[in-house]
Structure 1
Amino acid sequence: MAELAYHQTTGAKVARYVIYAVLIAMVLFYLAPLFVMLSTSFKSLDEIRTGNLLSLPSSISFDAWRAAWSSACTGIECGGMAPYFSNSLKMMIPAVLISTLVGAFNGYILSMWRFKGSDTFFLLLLIGTFLPFQVIILPMAQVLGMLEIEDSTTRLILVHVIYGLQFTTLFFRNYYVTVPGELVSAARIDGAGFFRIFFKILLPISIPTIMVCLIWQTTQIWNDFLFGVIFSSGDGQPITVALNNLVNTSTGVKQYNVDMAAAIIAALPTLIVYAIGGKYFVRGLTAGAVKG
């Protein structure tokens, strides 16, 4: 028995080491592009031409980062990524907040205040989550044309709010159906009305789902390229469009270190959001997974 237990323990340790080795190999493989981007962004052009792609920089230089931020050419403009970074912030923050709040309100109605045809409405909304960006480009352009919205930031805010509502509504509706109905009934008996129940009772307990929507919408909106290139123009373009223009600029010497630095600058906000709120994202997704 002792020998059998010893072999079982040894086998478990070997299996654990194999799992760890595989996981470490996958992590290294996954992080390799990020390592190449970082190391290249800190190298000079001469070192990039003569060195190894995976080699560390002989001396760290921030010249490429300064150029990417303030002087790199994105087409005919050479003002760097800074103004486009600001454009994306101006677009993303209101779009994320509006779509999250309206999605919470929709989920509240669809779960707690059912009306005739609410299930059909929710089904149609659910179908909307599977529609690709390309399907809604033409009708969205027609609507924006009828509304005569000229400002690029306003157009993009409206587009992202509308497209994101089906996702935020789905998240909140699935969470609210897990909330005991007795809680809402007790609030009604105590005299709480429609809006008071929402703002004073349900919204404060929705932090996990709020975090999911904030992270989801931030990632989707910040990383979007298609809507940005179609519904914005000139100085109102988001950072993803500017990055594409920078990388594809054909005038002058190709500066790979500046391209890599610009790509990292464009990715930083979403990396920070996931690093800070990643655990809340998982908790929020599973919060409404039991029922509904």
Structure 2
Amino acid sequence: MESIVPPLPAVPAGAAPSRAARRARRRWTPARIGLYVFLLGAALFFLLPLYVMIVTSLKSMDEIRQGGIFALPHAPTLAPWRLAWSGVCTGAACDGVRTGFWNSVAITVPSTILTILLGAVNGYALSFWRPRGANLLFGILMAGAFVPVQVMIYPLVRVMALAGIFGSLPAIVLVHLVFGMPVMTLLFRNYYCNVPHELFQAARIDGGGFWRIFLQVMLPMSLPVVVVAAIMQVTGVWNDYILGLVFAGRDNMPMMVQLNNVINTTTGVRQYNVNMAATILTALVPLALYFVSGRWFVRGIAAGAVKG
């Protein structure tokens, strides 16, 4: 007589994998080992210069002259950092890079806020309102993104000199606004193109106008792309050298220009520890911005901020 064996229960499609399956996934295959070796090598490749800069900035000049560029400092000191911040010569004045830091803040904050706001308005208008000649305007803006900065320097110098603002804070802010507008418009236009058009139509039915829909509907849901735009604009403005050198004037010299004066000075003894400390101080703001808002940056990219 045949024995009746009850059928095994079916495993649901979404059930958690068994312990054996999880163990198989964690198995160290040659491909997995090669991937980790590559990632570790890439991380060391990018972090090694930063390590050298940090340890050099904590050494005295006597210890630096002894060699051992990768060696840890025997007697760490913060004197090079204090000198770089408030004592090193950046030209005629010897008050460190702190003046350039606050100049860079004064340039970066309005350049970022104004560029993002105008880029968001342009992207919103080109995505939903479609004014006459919108495609032509968008094409002109995109063409402007590919014009080299060096080509536009002399015409801008002439225009600002005639306007009487050359070498002032409004001049350098206006220049960064002009050069940042095409990319910001592209970011926000592509982001708003992914927003369901029914949302805009519903707001229109409820009586919303251009500014009300933008301020109460579109702008609050634009945080990911705003973070992406802010990171790109702050990084570009903060790390700029040539525009700050030409348009900022002697009283508004940004930090990157003063860092160049510190590094390339040809008088006295070259202080490598002070140079490294000044370089790290100059790079702190972009690095901190990436670390703090990295999660939002990834979300903005995934939401279509940089899709064609």
In the superposition, the TM-score normalised over structure 2's length comes to: 0.89
CA contact under 8 A between 2:87 and 2:94: conserved in structure 1?
yes
Q: 1:54 to 1:290 in 2, by over 3 A?
A: closer
Q: 1:23 aligns with which of 39, 57, 60?
A: 39
Q: 1:55 aligns with which of 71, 77, 80?
A: 71
Rounded Cα–Cα distance in structure 2 between residues aligned with 1:53 and 1:40: 7
String of CA shifts for 1:199-239, please: whole Å, max 9, x gaps: 00000011111011100000000000010111123231000
C-alpha deviation, 1:10, in angstroms: 9.7
The farther-off stretch of 84-93 and 113-122 is 113-122
What are the residue-to-residue correspondences of 1:210-289 with 2, within 5 Å? 210-288=226-304
CA contact under 8 A between 1:36 and 1:53: conserved in structure 2?
yes
1:164 aligns with 2:185: no
Hey, what does 1:73 align to over in structure 2? 89
Hey, what does 2:147 align to over in structure 1? 131
Hey, what does 2:15 align to over in structure 1? none
CA contact under 8 A between 1:178 and 1:291: conserved in structure 2?
no
C-alpha deviation, 1:291, in angstroms: 7.5
CA contact under 8 A between 2:88 and 2:95: conserved in structure 1?
yes
String of CA shifts for 1:112-132, please: whole Å, max 9, x gaps: 111221101101111222222
Hey, what does 1:201 align to over in structure 2? 217
C-alpha deviation, 1:286, in angstroms: 2.9
Rounded Cα–Cα distance in structure 1 between residues aligned with 2:307 and 2:276: 45
CA contact under 8 A between 1:177 and 1:291: conserved in structure 2?
no
String of CA shifts for 1:73-122, please: whole Å, max 9, x gaps: 11221110011100000000011000001100000110111122110110
Between the two proteins, what is the percent identity of the paired residues? 47
Where does the alignment leave 5 or more consecutive residues of structure 1 unmatched? none
Aligned letter for 1:81?
Answer: V
Bigger Cα Rg? 2
CA contact under 8 A between 1:42 and 1:57: conserved in structure 2?
yes
Q: 2:106 aligns with which of 73, 90, 96?
A: 90
Rounded Cα–Cα distance in structure 1 between residues aligned with 2:143 and 2:306: 21
Runs of 4+ more than 4 Å apart: 8-12, 289-292
1:141 aligns with 2:157: yes
String of CA shifts for 1:147-183, please: whole Å, max 9, x gaps: 2115532211111011101111110000111111111
Q: 1:224 to 1:10 in 2, by over 3 A?
A: closer
